[in-house]
Structure 1
Amino acid sequence: MIKKAIALVLTAVLLPSTIAFAGPPAPKASGIESKDYQWAKMEGELKAALDAKGTAKDGEEGYEICGACHLPSGAGRPDGTFPQLAGQHTTVLIKQMADIRMGLRDNPTMYPFAKELVDPQELANVAAYIEKLCIPTDHGQYEGADAAAQIAKGKDLYEKQCVECHGKNGEGKKEKFYPVIAGQHYKYLLRQMTEIRDGHRRNANPDMVKVIKPYTNEQLVAISAYQSSLKMPGAMCKPKAKK
């Protein structure tokens, strides 16, 4: 497993992020476009991984496959190409990995990596390892000259319709699969919310689709700017010591 992980990491570093490994394409499961779609349906690999007791120690090696793109710290990339994973709920991580593996969430870049995790137990272990990582404080944020105004506008929108699910500090709800958004990169948040609104995120929560559907591009910018400013007390990484 160690040699396989090293080989995958080296390949990922050398290849552009938009190129996936050669091999069979990801399967294509019916998603939100289907009338029979059920969000977070408890069956198959998803249920098995959620039922498994994951251990962070055993998940560290499996995470080596993920670290090439998401970094060893789980910080992802400030430009939003790869999300911050550190501190994310195990339930959210397991669901997204299981959805990618079964073809419910389209992510051809991640699919070759996700399928290397051998079974539901390894999914649970990797998720347990990621969840315990502290959330970096130096993530990508909105950098426009109107940042203060955008954050203020986004705060108003967030507190009206987002706070019930994602929490005051962006902590989400583990038992409901609502993700941690504190510390997430602005550009990643904006991209995901746009894809959900426009029907391109096939494993989206229908409840969120209803909320976000009426939002304009400008409103999504403001909400993303505010969300990326959130910090979770006790979960963020400690400030680096000054030299």
Structure 2
Amino acid sequence: MKKALVIVFASLAMMASAASFAKGDATKGKELSATCAACHGADGNSTNPEWPKLAGQGEAYLAKQLRDYRSEARVDAVMSAQAMLIASDEDVDHLAAYFASQEATPGSADEASVEEGGLLYKGGKTSTKVTACAACHGPTGAGNDPAKFPKLSGQHVTYLIAQLKMFRSGERANDAGQMMRNIAEKMSDKDMKAVAEYISGLQD
């Protein structure tokens, strides 16, 4: 019960902070995006499955992740260095606005994992107390940008699994209220693979 209240209050706090989020200028963001394109693609649709698709991702979520890299709340050897090169917080907002405005390419799923992954995504796993992903990320994986819950649909399977494993190990720790860490620590590698396959095949 206590953990559930922490999640509720953390969600409310994120929604409140989103109200003051200043949207960037997508046109300016495009002008700043050349360096990002090397890994994430000119329109935010990366071809390397280890690097996330940014196209169509929530603007507030993208801005938060870039700021977290800049403050070292989230750490990655490549992204931390790249984020530090962004000249200002205003440019962070412009980049977030540009990639959020792009259309994401559809993902694909391993049909053998879809049924199990769908059950996990939509209903969780009562035996290990894994919360349903849809509770925060929506039934189609569209996310909830005011709360800074990311869009997941169509994302690369490899990237999704890597992030779940980093949440499980604590290597990634920029989730409010430890929400993702609390969920991922209860998931097996098999759970992660199944739900990632299901998510990649979703279309919002």
TM-score by length of 2: 0.83
Q: Matched residues in 2 for 1:228 and 1:203: separation?
A: 23
2:177 is aligned with 1:208: no
RMSD between aligned residues: 2.2
Pairwise mapping of residues 110-189 of structure 1 onto structure 2 (< 5 A)? 110-137=79-106, 139=107, 141-142=108-109, 147-160=110-123, 161-189=132-160
Contact 2:21-2:60 at 8 Å conserved across structures: no
Question: Structure 1: which 4+ aligned runs deviate by more than 6 Å?
Answer: 39-42
Q: Matched residues in 2 for 1:51 and 1:134: separation?
A: 22
Q: Which residue pairs with 2:201 in the alignment? A: 229
Q: Which residue pairs with 1:56 in the alignment? A: 26
- What are the superposed Cα offsets for residues 107-126 of structure 1, whole Å, 9 maximum, x if unpaired? 11112221221111111111
Q: Matched residues in 1 for 2:34 and 2:152: separation?
A: 23
- What are the superposed Cα offsets for residues 17-74 of structure 1, whole Å, 9 maximum, x if unpaired? xxxxxxxxxxxxxxxxxxxxxx7988xxxx8xx6433111111111112111101021
Contact 1:74-1:86 at 8 Å conserved across structures: yes
**Deviation at residue 76 of structure 1 after TM alignment:** 1.4
Q: Which residue pairs with 2:36 in the alignment? A: 66
- What are the superposed Cα offsets for residues 189-214 of structure 1, whole Å, 9 maximum, x if unpaired? 01101111121112134122222221
Tell me which protein shows more helix as a share of its residues: 2
Q: Which residue pairs with 1:3 in the alignment? A: none
Structure 1 residues without counterparts, runs of 5 or longer = 1-38, 233-243
Q: Which residue pairs with 1:99 in the alignment? A: 68
Contact 1:85-1:130 at 8 Å conserved across structures: yes
Structure 2 residues without counterparts, runs of 5 or longer = 1-9, 124-131
Q: Which residue pairs with 1:195 in the alignment? A: 166
Pairwise mapping of residues 8-27 of structure 1 onto structure 2 (< 5 A)? none
**Deviation at residue 148 of structure 1 after TM alignment:** 2.1
Q: Matched residues in 2 for 1:121 and 1:51: separation?
A: 11
Residue 59 of structure 2: which of 75, 84, 90 is its match? 90
